[in-house]
A and B are shown apart, each in its own frame.
Chain A
Amino acid sequence: MEENLSNQQNSAADNSNQASVGEQERLGSLIAGGAMVLMGLQQRSLRGVLMSLAGGGLAYHGMAGKKSWKDAVQGKLESATGMGQSIRVERTVTIQNQSPETLYQFWRNLENLPTVMKHLQSVTVTSPTRSHWVANLPVGDAIEWDAEIIADQENRLISWASVEAADVENSGFVRFQPSSHNRGTEVKVVMEYNPPAGIVGATFAKLFGESPDQQIADGLRHFKMLMEAGEIATTEGQPHGQR
């Protein structure tokens, strides 16, 4: 019984860890391909898929650690009430006149990200694969977490996940892919957030000031502006009459 529930709690991750070779290929090509990634993932957790594709070589306490029976029941309750559901975002932009190499290089130095992701206060790289993230909240304190790079394919893909005990568990990947007929490089970001139990999507969005979807969209747009035009368009600081 305990084993059974525990499996359900971690079902997505475990399923993908146990995925057949054919399934592995399907998920791999989904992440490398031109389709809508999240549609193809459906019930699976992004984190689980990313972990399994990375070969499971990384020890993940948060994922691999045994859940207690109580946690498992809580998990069942949450999914039954629609609480604790993950929030998923997928956004793509095409960037002109920049090779996947250049774009990858910018992103691989995670400390660059606050330049384009305005909700981030800072990212500090603490080891070749670890980093410490601080994000602004519209009210109250900033939130912080540590993240680990799960996969790093030069000039193609970087995936990461928050490590255990993050307030907002999150994982995702960014992919750089030349588009056909010299239309530039397609940059896709797919993210999954697991807000703390009891916080549903709308509340979560309020907590962040804008929806996670909007955050990623804005971040990608700023990235594109910076790479194509050399600067991020703004009107902050311009004059106006009496408001």
Chain B
Amino acid sequence: MKAVCWHGTNQVNVETVPDPKILNPRDAIVKITSTAICGSDLHLYDGFNPTMKQGDILGHEFMGEIVELGSAVRNKQIGDRVVVPFTISCGSCFFCSRDLWSLCDNSNPNAWMVEQVMGHSPSGLFGYSHLTGGYAGGQAEYARVPFADVGLFKVPDELTDEQLLFLTDIFPTGYMAAENCNIQPGDTVAVWGCGPVGQFAIRSAYLLGAERVIAIDRVPERLQMAQAGGAETLNYDETEVGEALNEMTGGRGPDSVMDAVGMEAHGAGLEGFYDKAMQAVRMETDRPTVLRQAIVACRKGGTVSVPGVYTGFVDKIPMGAFMNKGLTMKTGQTHVHRYLKPLTERIQKGEIDPSFLITHRLPLEEAPHAYEIFKHKRDSCVKVVLKP
């Protein structure tokens, strides 16, 4: 089959590789009909994960049709049309049974690696380095899906791939990030980052009853898309974000703040230079520009929601502000399984149509080009869907 393989910083190739096989009784093989590139893939593309290996198959946002089932999968059938959550979860451990799917105990074969750094390991993830299991990803023609009985979600026929695909990650991610904001009537939510995750976060915050959403980025078409979703916007290249947020909220600050940017946040001026230098000499692995701003901007007693991905260490977190303002932080890889049914229903009811996000539809073969335009936000690219 054809698959998108990682070959170092800024280097992906479409290669012919062997077809995946059933390896465990609860596996299934899915023939992929649609697959996307995520902002998380850019962290790998940018070379920020030292546990990537040459030839690793990328991709964790994919859907398709079941073509083969392991002997222990009884609740699915060959031919079922399914979406695949990017988190791999067993369905029976302490965490899965408490709806904390991305914390599954039993899906990361390389848990020991993570434990060295983090103490305990989160779940395995598709196509996301050997730290999270080294599972072959879904930017390919076929993928093996472990724990298919709980992992695969059958989708309604009347909805299109483009409406359903983002159930695999970014729609639930934006939604969970908004839920984590603990939105109360009258609340204002500030969202840093108007990438795909930010876009869904904005819309989810409204679905969950926010009165106002203020979105921050500097890419014009992304800011426009945020406005189309009902947000007021701030361009951080033109505005001092903290001051503006304060003025827009009567001096109180937003009730909750969201970092939908993560560890590669773009930093301006001296602070940005400092983080780039620190990252270059590996004194710091992640650049927490947005996290710093968000903590300082948040109103007292408010919530900091962090869907943006961090993998290592950050420097100069304003812990004094965080502690003395009595803030709460909520974060995590998304518990995708938890949201599949309720969010599919919202799509069916017409409360949201996730396909608004797609700016590019390309054949799988054009993945190298797709990574380039998505990374550099060229050609007004916000989200690419690849067709195998």
Physical interaction between A and B: yes
Q: What residues of chain A have their CB less than 8 Å away from a CB belonging to chain B?
A: 94, 96-97, 183-184, 214, 217-218, 221, 224-225, 228-243
What size tier do the contact residues of chain B reach? 35 or more
Contacts of B5 in A (CB 8 A): 240-242
Closest Cβ of chain B: how far from A228's Cβ, in Å?
5
The 7 closest A-B pairs by CB, nearest first: A241-B5, A241-B55, A229-B90, A241-B15, A229-B106, A239-B17, A240-B55
Asked if B23 lies at the interface with its beta carbon under 8 angstroms from chain A, I say: yes
Chain B residue at minimal CB-CB distance from A238: B136
How many angstroms between the C-alpha atoms of A232 and B146 in the bound complex?
Answer: 10
Contact A228–B92 (Cβ < 8 Å): yes
Main secondary structure on chain B at its contact with chain A?
A: loop
Residue of B whose beta carbon sits closest to that of A233: B109
- Determine if A230 and B72 form an interchain contact, defined as CB atoms under 8 angstroms apart: yes
A–B complex contacts, Cβ < 8 Å, 28 sampled:
A94-B94, A96-B94, A183-B94, A224-B106, A225-B106, A228-B93, A228-B106, A229-B90, A229-B107, A230-B25, A231-B72, A232-B24, A233-B88, A233-B107, A233-B108, A233-B146, A235-B23, A235-B135, A235-B136, A238-B144, A239-B3, A240-B57, A240-B136, A241-B7, A241-B13, A242-B54, A243-B54, A243-B55
CA distance A76 to B77 in the complex (A): 68
Bound complex: CA of A69 vs CA of B310, how far in Å? Answer: 60
In the complex, whether B20 has a CB less than 8 A from a CB of chain A is yes
Does B21 lie at the interface of the complex (its beta carbon under 8 Å from any beta carbon of A)?
yes
Q: Do the beta carbons of A233 and B94 come within 8 Å of each other?
A: no
Contact yes or no, B136 A237, CB < 8 A: no
Report which residue of B54, B57, B90 has the largest number of chain A beta carbons within 10 angstroms of its beta carbon: B90
Given A240-B17, A241-B17, A96 contacting B23 (CB threshold 8 A): no
Other A-B pairs beyond A229-B107, A241-B54, 19, CB < 8 Å: A96-B93, A96-B94, A224-B105, A228-B92, A229-B92, A230-B72, A234-B23, A236-B23, A238-B23, A238-B136, A239-B1, A239-B17, A239-B19, A240-B56, A240-B136, A241-B7, A241-B57, A242-B15, A243-B53
**A230 / chain B contacts, CB cutoff of 8 Å:** 25-26, 72
- Does chain A have a CB within 8 A of B119? no
Q: Judge if B216 is at the interface, Cβ distance under 8 Å.
A: no
Closest to B97 in A: A96
Given the complex of chains A and B, what is the CA–CA distance between A97 and B147 in angstroms?
A: 18
Cβ-defined partner of A237 (8 Å) among B23, B25, B26: B23
Is B44 close to A, CB under 8 A?
no
* Chain B residues packing against A (C-beta within 8 Å): 1, 3, 5-7, 13, 15, 17-21, 23-26, 53-57, 72, 88, 90-94, 97, 105-109, 111-112, 124, 133-136, 144, 146-147
Given A183-B94, A241-B56, A231:B24 Cβ within 8 A: yes
CA distance A82 to B114 in the complex (A): 32
* A195–B5 CA distance with the chains assembled, in angstroms: 44
Asked whether, in the complex, the Cβ of B133 is within 8 Å of the Cβ of A235, the reply is yes
Q: Is the interface of A mostly helix, strand, loop or mixed?
A: loop
* Cα(A24)–Cα(B3), bound, Å: 63
The CA of A214 and the CA of B112, in the complex, are separated in Å by 8
Residue of chain B at shortest CB distance from A242: B55
Cβ contacts under 8 Å, A232 to chain B: 24, 109
A184, A224, A231: residue with the most chain B Cβ atoms closer than 10 Å: A231
Cα(A241)–Cα(B20), bound, Å: 12
Closest CB of chain B to A224's CB: distance in Å?
Answer: 7
Pairwise interchain contact B94-A231, C-beta atoms closer than 8 A: no
Q: When A230-B72, A242-B15 are in contact, do A237 and B56 touch as well, CB less than 8 Å?
A: no
Contacts of B17 in A (CB 8 A): 239-241
A135 to chain B, nearest CB (A): 19
User: Which chain B positions have C-beta within 8 A of A240?
Assistant: 5, 17, 53, 55-57, 136
**Docked pose: A229 CA to B70 CA in angstroms:** 14
* Min CB–CB distance B74 → chain A (angstroms): 12
> How near does chain B come to A223, taking the closest CB pair, in angstroms?
11
CB distance from B137 to the nearest CB of A (A): 10
CB closest residue in chain A, given B89: A229
B109-A235 in contact (CB<8A): yes
Contact between A233 and B56 (Cβ–Cβ < 8 Å)?
no
Q: Which residues of A contact B108 (CB under 8 A)?
A: 233
Determine the distance from Cα of A35 to Cα of B24 in the docked complex, in whole angstroms.
36
The answer on a CB contact under 8 Å between A228 and B90 is yes
CB distance from A34 to the nearest CB of B (A): 18
Q: Which residues of B contact A184 (CB under 8 A)?
A: 94
Q: How far is the CB of B23 from chain A (nearest CB, A)?
A: 5
Report A212 CB to chain B, min CB distance, Å: 14
Q: Which residues of A contact B147 (CB under 8 A)?
A: 229
Rounded to whole Å, the gap between the CB of B69 and the closest CB of chain A is 14
Is B124 a contact of A233 with CB atoms below 8 Å?
A: yes
The complex places the Cα of A239 from the Cα of B88 at a distance, in Å, of 18
Residue of A218, A224, A233 with highest tally of chain B CB at under 10 A: A233
Bound: A232/B72 CA distance, A: 13
Among B56, B106, B109, residue most surrounded by chain A Cβ atoms (within 10 Å) = B106
